Structure 1
Amino acid sequence: MASASSPSSSGFFSICLLHAVAATTCGALMMFYQNEAMVVGHGRETAARLLQGSTPRDQLLIQTSDSFAGLLLFAIGLLLFMVAFVEDRDFQAFFAKGCALLHAAVALWRVCFERRVDCLARDWPRQLVGDLVLGLSWLLFLVYCWSDKYD
């Protein structure tokens, strides 16, 4: 039985690095290749409707919003990369709980709000599955930590 301050397995490090690579890649694509990223995420038809906007001001607002969302994702990826090197088990468990709750909140947002947006109504189930899988990775880490702690 390991003490609470000893380093954990490479599971936390691996999960953080995988999530960091995904977040920084998606964020960079959203900032610099917005049209292509939206086509990959939503399909050509939906991306065209989302990027079209009713006025040039709407188009600029959509582009700016997506660029800031990409910047936020990129920053989250860098944060995950830094956190991957923390070896304190208590912090790792706390961080994993927070990430699992964050993914659950995003999934709830998709169910409650995104499915009501006409042009996103077709995409939200697929994105919901992605959110649940990402949250499940953190939950599996927590289960592994708890089983290791109580064995």
Structure 2
Amino acid sequence: MSESNAPATVGDLLCFDLYATSRAVTAFYRPFLERTGLTYPQFLVLTLLWEQDEQPMGALAQRLDLESNTMSPLVKRMEKAGLLVRVTNPADERSVLVQLTDEGKKLRWLSHEMTGELGAALGMDDEEIAVLRKMLHRVRSGATS
């Protein structure tokens, strides 16, 4: 068997590199999140709401690429923790809007701290991070097309 026909090893797989990188970044964030009692998906929901408060639950799920059967329990746990509230959309009673509470707004510092620490840990400047993000967006959009 020639080298070009040799079976791929795990180390040869781009999918494994992406998977392992995702796990490493999530593990890096874990100590920050544990201080606040948040999970990584909860942090992502809060980040979207810090960008723009009062969003439809469906829009949040779509931006995070989550199914409604994943999003609903996630938001319910966050509501129970006092981080956000769900309200009926006055423009469409079939739609639920998600809004930050004061407690949810107070955690915004977390986003700034986590983002800065990750860049420093990677030893990458803002330009390098921008290039990496552009490449990852290309991978993600190509994988879903």
Is the pair's TM-score, using the shorter chain for normalization, greater than 0.5? no
Structure with greater helix percent: 1
Normalization by structure 2: what TM-score? 0.31
Larger relative contact order (Cα-Cα within 8 Å, sequence gap ≥ 6): 1
Normalization by structure 1: what TM-score? 0.30
